[in-house]
Structure 1
Protein backbone atom coordinates (compact mmCIF):
# COMPACT_ATOMS: atom_id res chain seq x y z
CA UNK A 1 0.00 0.00 0.00
CA UNK A 2 1.16 3.51 -0.72
CA UNK A 3 0.86 6.21 1.90
CA UNK A 4 0.12 9.82 1.11
CA UNK A 5 3.80 10.50 1.66
CA UNK A 6 4.71 8.00 -1.07
CA UNK A 7 2.22 9.45 -3.51
CA UNK A 8 3.00 13.11 -2.88
CA UNK A 9 6.76 13.42 -2.85
CA UNK A 10 6.73 17.13 -2.08
CA UNK A 11 3.78 17.05 0.29
CA UNK A 12 5.39 19.31 2.90
CA UNK A 13 5.58 22.12 0.37
CA UNK A 14 2.06 21.78 -0.99
CA UNK A 15 -0.54 24.24 0.25
CA UNK A 16 -3.90 25.22 -1.20
CA UNK A 17 -4.32 28.75 -2.50
CA UNK A 18 -7.50 30.23 -1.06
CA UNK A 19 -10.30 30.86 -3.54
CA UNK A 20 -10.70 34.23 -1.84
CA UNK A 21 -7.39 35.46 -3.25
CA UNK A 22 -7.51 37.77 -6.24
CA UNK A 23 -5.94 36.62 -9.51
CA UNK A 24 -3.04 39.00 -8.96
CA UNK A 25 -2.39 37.66 -5.47
CA UNK A 26 -2.60 34.10 -6.71
CA UNK A 27 0.02 34.87 -9.34
CA UNK A 28 2.33 36.19 -6.63
CA UNK A 29 1.60 33.37 -4.22
CA UNK A 30 4.82 31.70 -3.09
CA UNK A 31 5.38 28.23 -1.80
CA UNK A 32 5.55 28.06 1.94
CA UNK A 33 8.59 26.76 3.74
CA UNK A 34 8.70 23.17 4.96
CA UNK A 35 8.04 24.39 8.50
CA UNK A 36 5.07 26.53 7.45
CA UNK A 37 3.56 23.71 5.43
CA UNK A 38 4.04 21.25 8.28
CA UNK A 39 2.35 23.64 10.70
CA UNK A 40 -0.51 24.20 8.26
CA UNK A 41 -1.25 20.50 7.77
CA UNK A 42 -0.93 19.72 11.48
CA UNK A 43 -3.51 22.41 12.16
CA UNK A 44 -5.77 21.06 9.41
CA UNK A 45 -5.86 17.70 11.18
CA UNK A 46 -7.42 19.43 14.19
CA UNK A 47 -9.75 21.40 11.90
CA UNK A 48 -10.89 18.11 10.38
CA UNK A 49 -11.65 16.72 13.83
CA UNK A 50 -13.66 19.85 14.64
CA UNK A 51 -15.63 19.42 11.42
CA UNK A 52 -16.99 16.21 12.96
CA UNK A 53 -17.26 17.43 16.56
CA UNK A 54 -17.08 21.24 16.99
CA UNK A 55 -16.29 20.76 20.69
CA UNK A 56 -13.16 18.74 19.90
CA UNK A 57 -10.11 19.99 21.79
CA UNK A 58 -6.47 18.98 21.89
CA UNK A 59 -5.43 17.96 25.39
CA UNK A 60 -3.07 15.64 27.23
CA UNK A 61 -5.30 12.65 26.51
CA UNK A 62 -5.04 12.93 22.71
CA UNK A 63 -2.01 15.07 21.86
CA UNK A 64 0.38 12.17 21.31
CA UNK A 65 -2.23 10.22 19.36
CA UNK A 66 -2.84 13.15 17.00
CA UNK A 67 0.91 13.35 16.42
CA UNK A 68 0.99 9.62 15.65
CA UNK A 69 -1.98 9.88 13.25
CA UNK A 70 -0.35 12.81 11.46
CA UNK A 71 2.86 10.83 11.00
CA UNK A 72 0.96 7.73 9.89
CA UNK A 73 -1.17 9.40 7.26
CA UNK A 74 1.82 11.22 5.76
CA UNK A 75 3.93 8.07 5.74
CA UNK A 76 6.44 9.32 8.31
CA UNK A 77 8.24 6.85 10.58
CA UNK A 78 6.78 7.07 14.05
CA UNK A 79 4.78 5.18 16.62
CA UNK A 80 2.47 3.44 14.14
CA UNK A 81 3.14 0.78 11.51
CA UNK A 82 2.58 2.39 8.11
CA UNK A 83 1.48 -0.92 6.57
CA UNK A 84 -1.37 -1.49 9.01
CA UNK A 85 -4.79 0.04 9.49
CA UNK A 86 -6.08 1.60 12.69
CA UNK A 87 -8.12 -0.13 15.38
CA UNK A 88 -9.36 2.34 17.98
CA UNK A 89 -10.82 0.69 21.07
CA UNK A 90 -12.03 1.96 24.40
CA UNK A 91 -15.17 2.76 26.41
CA UNK A 92 -18.20 4.55 25.03
CA UNK A 93 -17.90 8.29 24.53
CA UNK A 94 -14.13 8.77 24.48
CA UNK A 95 -14.08 9.98 20.85
CA UNK A 96 -13.12 6.93 18.79
CA UNK A 97 -15.59 7.63 15.99
CA UNK A 98 -14.72 11.33 15.95
CA UNK A 99 -11.04 10.52 15.46
CA UNK A 100 -11.70 8.13 12.59
CA UNK A 101 -14.28 10.35 10.85
CA UNK A 102 -11.97 13.33 11.29
CA UNK A 103 -9.14 11.36 9.73
CA UNK A 104 -11.43 10.49 6.82
CA UNK A 105 -12.14 14.20 6.25
CA UNK A 106 -8.45 15.00 6.55
CA UNK A 107 -7.44 12.39 3.95
CA UNK A 108 -10.09 13.74 1.57
CA UNK A 109 -8.81 17.29 2.09
CA UNK A 110 -5.23 16.25 1.31
CA UNK A 111 -6.37 14.41 -1.81
CA UNK A 112 -8.41 17.42 -2.94
CA UNK A 113 -5.68 20.01 -2.37
CA UNK A 114 -2.60 18.02 -3.32
CA UNK A 115 -3.78 15.96 -6.27
CA UNK A 116 -6.77 17.88 -7.53
CA UNK A 117 -9.49 15.71 -6.03
CA UNK A 118 -8.26 12.38 -7.37
CA UNK A 119 -8.61 9.60 -4.82
CA UNK A 120 -5.37 7.75 -5.60
CA UNK A 121 -6.04 5.29 -2.81
CA UNK A 122 -5.68 7.89 -0.08
CA UNK A 123 -9.24 8.12 1.20
CA UNK A 124 -11.51 5.54 2.77
CA UNK A 125 -15.19 4.72 2.98
CA UNK A 126 -16.90 4.91 6.37
CA UNK A 127 -19.67 2.55 7.44
CA UNK A 128 -20.84 0.84 10.62
CA UNK A 129 -20.78 -2.81 11.59
CA UNK A 130 -24.57 -2.73 11.95
CA UNK A 131 -24.94 -1.40 8.39
CA UNK A 132 -22.78 -4.25 7.06
CA UNK A 133 -24.90 -6.83 8.88
CA UNK A 134 -28.07 -5.19 7.55
CA UNK A 135 -26.66 -5.19 4.02
CA UNK A 136 -26.11 -8.94 4.23
CA UNK A 137 -29.64 -9.45 5.56
CA UNK A 138 -31.04 -7.52 2.58
CA UNK A 139 -28.82 -8.77 -0.26
CA UNK A 140 -26.96 -11.81 0.97
CA UNK A 141 -23.26 -12.41 0.38
CA UNK A 142 -23.43 -10.36 -2.85
CA UNK A 143 -24.15 -7.32 -0.71
CA UNK A 144 -20.75 -7.70 0.95
CA UNK A 145 -18.81 -7.80 -2.32
CA UNK A 146 -18.01 -4.09 -2.19
CA UNK A 147 -16.04 -4.79 1.00
CA UNK A 148 -14.58 -8.21 0.17
CA UNK A 149 -14.16 -8.56 -3.62
CA UNK A 150 -10.75 -7.28 -4.72
CA UNK A 151 -12.16 -5.97 -8.01
CA UNK A 152 -14.32 -3.42 -6.19
CA UNK A 153 -12.62 -3.26 -2.79
CA UNK A 154 -11.40 -0.01 -1.26
CA UNK A 155 -9.95 1.29 1.98
CA UNK A 156 -12.64 0.91 4.62
CA UNK A 157 -13.44 2.10 8.14
CA UNK A 158 -15.95 0.07 10.15
CA UNK A 159 -17.49 1.89 13.10
CA UNK A 160 -18.84 0.29 16.29
CA UNK A 161 -17.61 -3.24 15.68
CA UNK A 162 -19.23 -5.51 18.23
CA UNK A 163 -22.59 -3.75 18.31
CA UNK A 164 -23.94 -5.51 15.22
CA UNK A 165 -26.11 -8.66 15.42
CA UNK A 166 -23.82 -11.70 15.50
CA UNK A 167 -26.00 -13.82 13.25
CA UNK A 168 -27.30 -11.77 10.31
CA UNK A 169 -29.78 -13.80 8.27
CA UNK A 170 -30.62 -13.64 4.58
CA UNK A 171 -33.58 -15.88 3.73
CA UNK A 172 -32.72 -18.15 6.64
CA UNK A 173 -29.00 -18.33 5.93
CA UNK A 174 -27.04 -16.78 8.75
CA UNK A 175 -23.43 -15.63 8.98
CA UNK A 176 -21.33 -13.46 11.25
CA UNK A 177 -21.02 -10.63 8.72
CA UNK A 178 -18.11 -8.78 10.34
CA UNK A 179 -16.18 -12.00 10.84
CA UNK A 180 -16.63 -12.75 7.14
CA UNK A 181 -15.60 -9.26 6.02
CA UNK A 182 -12.50 -9.23 8.23
CA UNK A 183 -11.45 -12.71 7.15
CA UNK A 184 -11.62 -11.82 3.45
CA UNK A 185 -10.04 -8.39 3.89
CA UNK A 186 -7.18 -9.99 5.80
CA UNK A 187 -6.14 -11.69 2.56
CA UNK A 188 -5.88 -8.24 0.92
CA UNK A 189 -4.30 -6.42 3.86
CA UNK A 190 -1.23 -5.38 1.85
CA UNK A 191 -3.41 -3.78 -0.83
CA UNK A 192 -6.19 -2.10 1.16
CA UNK A 193 -6.39 -0.56 4.61
CA UNK A 194 -9.08 -1.59 7.06
CA UNK A 195 -9.83 0.61 10.08
CA UNK A 196 -12.20 -0.04 12.97
CA UNK A 197 -13.62 1.39 16.17
CA UNK A 198 -14.91 -0.87 18.93
CA UNK A 199 -15.88 -0.94 22.59
CA UNK A 200 -14.55 -4.50 22.79
CA UNK A 201 -11.15 -5.39 24.21
CA UNK A 202 -9.33 -6.97 21.23
CA UNK A 203 -7.18 -9.13 23.51
CA UNK A 204 -10.05 -10.57 25.53
CA UNK A 205 -13.32 -10.30 23.62
CA UNK A 206 -12.60 -10.64 19.90
CA UNK A 207 -12.04 -14.39 20.08
CA UNK A 208 -15.40 -14.85 21.81
CA UNK A 209 -17.27 -12.88 19.17
CA UNK A 210 -15.32 -13.47 15.96
CA UNK A 211 -13.32 -16.63 16.65
CA UNK A 212 -9.66 -17.33 17.30
CA UNK A 213 -8.76 -16.92 13.60
CA UNK A 214 -9.78 -13.26 13.52
CA UNK A 215 -8.51 -12.50 17.03
CA UNK A 216 -5.12 -13.90 16.08
CA UNK A 217 -4.88 -11.74 12.97
CA UNK A 218 -5.99 -8.45 14.46
CA UNK A 219 -2.41 -7.44 15.27
CA UNK A 220 -1.33 -8.30 11.73
CA UNK A 221 -4.00 -6.04 10.21
CA UNK A 222 -4.13 -3.17 12.68
CA UNK A 223 -2.27 -0.73 14.83
CA UNK A 224 -4.24 -1.47 18.01
CA UNK A 225 -4.75 1.82 19.85
CA UNK A 226 -6.49 2.14 23.21
CA UNK A 227 -8.41 5.40 23.58
CA UNK A 228 -8.74 6.49 27.18
CA UNK A 229 -9.99 9.51 29.04
CA UNK A 230 -13.30 10.90 30.21
CA UNK A 231 -16.42 10.73 28.06
CA UNK A 232 -16.55 13.58 25.54
CA UNK A 233 -20.30 13.32 25.06
Structure 2
Protein backbone atom coordinates (compact mmCIF):
# COMPACT_ATOMS: atom_id res chain seq x y z
CA UNK A 1 0.00 0.00 0.00
CA UNK A 2 1.72 3.16 -1.17
CA UNK A 3 1.74 6.22 1.03
CA UNK A 4 3.79 9.34 1.54
CA UNK A 5 3.97 10.47 5.14
CA UNK A 6 5.88 13.32 6.80
CA UNK A 7 9.02 12.53 8.74
CA UNK A 8 9.27 13.36 12.42
CA UNK A 9 10.39 16.96 11.88
CA UNK A 10 7.51 17.57 9.46
CA UNK A 11 4.70 15.93 11.38
CA UNK A 12 2.60 19.04 11.74
CA UNK A 13 3.04 20.74 8.35
CA UNK A 14 3.70 18.33 5.48
CA UNK A 15 0.86 16.97 3.35
CA UNK A 16 0.36 13.23 3.06
CA UNK A 17 -1.35 10.70 0.79
CA UNK A 18 -3.00 7.80 2.59
CA UNK A 19 -4.39 4.69 0.94
CA UNK A 20 -7.66 4.19 2.77
CA UNK A 21 -9.84 1.16 2.02
CA UNK A 22 -10.36 0.93 -1.74
CA UNK A 23 -9.71 4.63 -2.39
CA UNK A 24 -7.11 7.24 -1.62
CA UNK A 25 -7.58 10.19 0.71
CA UNK A 26 -5.36 13.22 0.16
CA UNK A 27 -4.93 15.26 3.30
CA UNK A 28 -2.55 17.27 5.40
CA UNK A 29 -2.23 17.07 9.14
CA UNK A 30 -3.22 20.72 9.40
CA UNK A 31 -6.44 20.08 7.47
CA UNK A 32 -7.25 17.21 9.84
CA UNK A 33 -6.77 19.57 12.78
CA UNK A 34 -9.02 22.15 11.14
CA UNK A 35 -11.72 19.54 10.61
CA UNK A 36 -11.46 18.34 14.21
CA UNK A 37 -11.66 21.88 15.53
CA UNK A 38 -14.71 22.67 13.40
CA UNK A 39 -16.44 19.42 14.34
CA UNK A 40 -15.49 19.97 17.98
CA UNK A 41 -17.23 23.32 18.01
CA UNK A 42 -20.34 21.71 16.54
CA UNK A 43 -20.35 18.98 19.18
CA UNK A 44 -18.97 20.71 22.27
CA UNK A 45 -19.64 24.42 21.79
CA UNK A 46 -17.94 27.48 20.35
CA UNK A 47 -15.27 27.48 23.05
CA UNK A 48 -13.71 24.24 21.76
CA UNK A 49 -10.23 24.49 20.28
CA UNK A 50 -7.27 22.31 19.40
CA UNK A 51 -4.20 23.17 21.50
CA UNK A 52 -0.75 23.14 19.96
CA UNK A 53 0.72 21.03 22.76
CA UNK A 54 -1.81 18.27 21.98
CA UNK A 55 -0.67 17.81 18.38
CA UNK A 56 1.71 14.87 19.04
CA UNK A 57 -1.13 12.98 20.75
CA UNK A 58 -3.58 13.78 17.95
CA UNK A 59 -1.04 12.65 15.37
CA UNK A 60 -0.71 9.26 17.07
CA UNK A 61 -4.49 8.90 17.25
CA UNK A 62 -4.80 9.72 13.54
CA UNK A 63 -2.10 7.22 12.57
CA UNK A 64 -4.00 4.53 14.47
CA UNK A 65 -7.34 5.64 12.99
CA UNK A 66 -6.26 5.59 9.34
CA UNK A 67 -4.41 2.28 9.80
CA UNK A 68 -1.02 3.60 8.69
CA UNK A 69 1.19 0.59 9.41
CA UNK A 70 4.48 2.29 8.49
CA UNK A 71 4.11 5.21 10.88
CA UNK A 72 2.40 3.06 13.50
CA UNK A 73 5.50 0.88 13.61
CA UNK A 74 7.72 3.95 13.87
CA UNK A 75 5.62 5.26 16.77
CA UNK A 76 5.36 1.83 18.48
CA UNK A 77 1.60 1.60 17.92
CA UNK A 78 -0.01 -1.79 17.42
CA UNK A 79 -2.98 -1.44 15.06
CA UNK A 80 -4.48 -4.67 16.40
CA UNK A 81 -4.79 -3.17 19.90
CA UNK A 82 -7.11 -0.46 21.16
CA UNK A 83 -6.17 2.91 22.64
CA UNK A 84 -5.93 3.78 26.31
CA UNK A 85 -5.77 7.58 26.48
CA UNK A 86 -4.67 8.82 29.89
CA UNK A 87 -4.25 12.29 31.33
CA UNK A 88 -5.37 14.73 34.01
CA UNK A 89 -8.98 15.78 34.43
CA UNK A 90 -9.98 18.26 31.73
CA UNK A 91 -7.09 17.47 29.38
CA UNK A 92 -9.45 16.64 26.50
CA UNK A 93 -9.45 12.85 26.47
CA UNK A 94 -13.18 12.41 25.86
CA UNK A 95 -13.29 15.07 23.16
CA UNK A 96 -10.39 13.58 21.21
CA UNK A 97 -11.72 10.02 21.37
CA UNK A 98 -15.07 11.33 20.15
CA UNK A 99 -13.55 13.31 17.26
CA UNK A 100 -11.13 10.59 16.13
CA UNK A 101 -14.15 8.41 15.31
CA UNK A 102 -14.64 10.40 12.10
CA UNK A 103 -11.34 9.05 10.72
CA UNK A 104 -11.82 5.38 11.67
CA UNK A 105 -13.17 2.86 9.12
CA UNK A 106 -16.84 2.08 9.85
CA UNK A 107 -16.24 -1.61 10.56
CA UNK A 108 -14.05 -0.81 13.59
CA UNK A 109 -15.49 2.59 14.57
CA UNK A 110 -16.19 2.73 18.30
CA UNK A 111 -19.19 3.92 20.26
CA UNK A 112 -18.55 6.14 23.28
CA UNK A 113 -19.88 4.88 26.62
CA UNK A 114 -19.41 6.47 30.01
CA UNK A 115 -18.20 4.03 32.68
CA UNK A 116 -20.61 5.68 35.13
CA UNK A 117 -23.51 5.00 32.76
CA UNK A 118 -22.44 1.36 32.50
CA UNK A 119 -22.40 1.01 36.28
CA UNK A 120 -25.88 2.56 36.54
CA UNK A 121 -27.11 0.13 33.87
CA UNK A 122 -25.77 -2.72 35.96
CA UNK A 123 -27.58 -1.40 39.02
CA UNK A 124 -30.85 -1.45 37.05
CA UNK A 125 -30.45 -4.60 34.97
CA UNK A 126 -27.85 -6.79 36.66
CA UNK A 127 -25.31 -9.20 35.21
CA UNK A 128 -26.77 -9.14 31.71
CA UNK A 129 -25.13 -5.70 31.32
CA UNK A 130 -21.69 -7.31 31.61
CA UNK A 131 -22.66 -9.73 28.82
CA UNK A 132 -24.13 -6.87 26.77
CA UNK A 133 -20.74 -5.15 26.57
CA UNK A 134 -18.65 -8.29 26.14
CA UNK A 135 -19.82 -11.70 24.89
CA UNK A 136 -22.96 -10.20 23.30
CA UNK A 137 -21.19 -7.16 21.80
CA UNK A 138 -21.36 -8.37 18.21
CA UNK A 139 -23.14 -7.33 15.05
CA UNK A 140 -24.15 -10.21 12.83
CA UNK A 141 -23.68 -9.44 9.15
CA UNK A 142 -24.34 -12.16 6.59
CA UNK A 143 -21.96 -15.05 7.01
CA UNK A 144 -20.53 -14.25 10.42
CA UNK A 145 -20.36 -11.84 13.32
CA UNK A 146 -18.48 -8.59 13.81
CA UNK A 147 -17.21 -7.40 17.22
CA UNK A 148 -18.46 -4.01 18.39
CA UNK A 149 -15.77 -1.55 19.38
CA UNK A 150 -16.43 0.63 22.44
CA UNK A 151 -14.56 3.45 24.09
CA UNK A 152 -15.33 3.29 27.81
CA UNK A 153 -14.95 6.84 29.00
CA UNK A 154 -13.56 7.92 32.37
CA UNK A 155 -12.53 4.57 33.78
CA UNK A 156 -12.39 4.94 37.55
CA UNK A 157 -15.34 7.31 37.94
CA UNK A 158 -17.81 4.44 38.24
CA UNK A 159 -18.69 2.86 41.57
CA UNK A 160 -18.74 -0.74 42.65
CA UNK A 161 -22.46 -1.43 42.88
CA UNK A 162 -24.46 -4.17 44.55
CA UNK A 163 -26.96 -6.34 42.77
CA UNK A 164 -29.08 -8.50 45.07
CA UNK A 165 -26.49 -7.98 47.82
CA UNK A 166 -23.43 -8.86 45.73
CA UNK A 167 -20.86 -6.14 45.16
CA UNK A 168 -19.43 -6.23 41.65
CA UNK A 169 -16.55 -4.39 39.98
CA UNK A 170 -18.53 -3.93 36.78
CA UNK A 171 -15.88 -2.43 34.52
CA UNK A 172 -13.29 -4.90 35.75
CA UNK A 173 -15.55 -7.79 34.76
CA UNK A 174 -16.33 -6.22 31.38
CA UNK A 175 -12.64 -5.70 30.62
CA UNK A 176 -11.82 -9.29 31.57
CA UNK A 177 -14.59 -10.58 29.31
CA UNK A 178 -13.66 -8.28 26.44
CA UNK A 179 -10.07 -9.51 26.74
CA UNK A 180 -11.31 -13.02 25.96
CA UNK A 181 -13.17 -11.70 22.89
CA UNK A 182 -10.07 -9.70 21.90
CA UNK A 183 -8.02 -12.89 21.89
CA UNK A 184 -10.62 -14.97 20.05
CA UNK A 185 -12.14 -12.41 17.64
CA UNK A 186 -9.99 -9.26 17.72
CA UNK A 187 -12.61 -7.25 19.65
CA UNK A 188 -11.29 -3.69 20.02
CA UNK A 189 -11.71 -1.72 23.23
CA UNK A 190 -10.63 1.84 24.00
CA UNK A 191 -10.44 3.62 27.35
CA UNK A 192 -9.99 7.09 28.72
CA UNK A 193 -8.88 7.51 32.32
CA UNK A 194 -6.98 9.78 34.70
CA UNK A 195 -5.86 6.81 36.79
CA UNK A 196 -2.20 5.86 37.09
CA UNK A 197 -1.01 2.31 36.49
CA UNK A 198 -0.79 1.76 40.23
CA UNK A 199 -4.30 3.04 40.80
CA UNK A 200 -5.64 0.78 38.05
CA UNK A 201 -4.10 -2.23 39.75
CA UNK A 202 -5.44 -1.09 43.13
CA UNK A 203 -9.00 -0.57 41.84
CA UNK A 204 -9.27 -3.46 39.39
CA UNK A 205 -6.59 -5.96 40.44
CA UNK A 206 -3.42 -7.32 38.87
CA UNK A 207 -5.38 -9.67 36.59
CA UNK A 208 -7.16 -6.81 34.87
CA UNK A 209 -4.01 -4.69 34.64
CA UNK A 210 -2.10 -7.57 33.05
CA UNK A 211 -4.74 -8.04 30.37
CA UNK A 212 -4.91 -4.32 29.74
CA UNK A 213 -1.23 -4.36 28.75
CA UNK A 214 -2.14 -6.83 26.01
CA UNK A 215 -5.27 -4.95 24.88
CA UNK A 216 -4.14 -1.33 24.64
CA UNK A 217 -1.68 1.11 23.16
CA UNK A 218 -0.95 3.64 25.89
CA UNK A 219 -1.09 7.29 24.80
CA UNK A 220 -0.65 9.84 27.58
CA UNK A 221 -1.00 13.55 28.12
CA UNK A 222 1.72 15.15 30.22
CA UNK A 223 0.97 15.15 33.94
CA UNK A 224 1.03 18.95 33.99
CA UNK A 225 -1.50 19.35 31.15
CA UNK A 226 -3.85 22.18 32.05
CA UNK A 227 -7.58 21.80 32.58
CA UNK A 228 -9.07 23.02 29.29
CA UNK A 229 -12.52 23.43 30.82
CA UNK A 230 -11.38 26.47 32.77
TM-score, normalised with respect to structure 2: 0.75
SS of alignment partner, residue 126 of structure 1: strand
Unaligned runs of 5+ in 1: 13-33, 112-118
- CA 85–6 in structure 1, closer or farther in 2 if over 3 Å, else same: farther
- CA 62–160 in structure 1, closer or farther in 2 if over 3 Å, else same: same
RMSD, aligned α-carbons: 2.4
CA contact (8 A) 2:108 2:148 kept: no
Unaligned runs of 5+ in 2: 1-17, 139-146
Matched, 1:63 2:55: yes
| Larger Rg computed on CA atoms | 1
Pairing partner for 2:91 from 85, 90, 94? 94
Partner Cα distance (1:209, 1:64) in 2: 30
Paired position in structure 1 for 2:126: 140
- CA 151–100 in structure 1, closer or farther in 2 if over 3 Å, else same: closer
Q: Which consecutive segments of 4 or more residues in structure 1 shift more than 4 A?
A: 38-42
Pairing partner for 1:127 from 91, 113, 120? 113
SS of alignment partner, residue 188 of structure 1: helix
SS of alignment partner, residue 195 of structure 1: strand
Q: Which has the higher strand share?
A: 2
Partner Cα distance (2:113, 2:137) in 1: 19
Paired position in structure 2 for 1:51: 42
CA contact (8 A) 2:135 2:181 kept: no
TM-score, normalised with respect to structure 1: 0.74
- CA 189–49 in structure 1, closer or farther in 2 if over 3 Å, else same: farther
CA contact (8 A) 1:150 1:188 kept: no
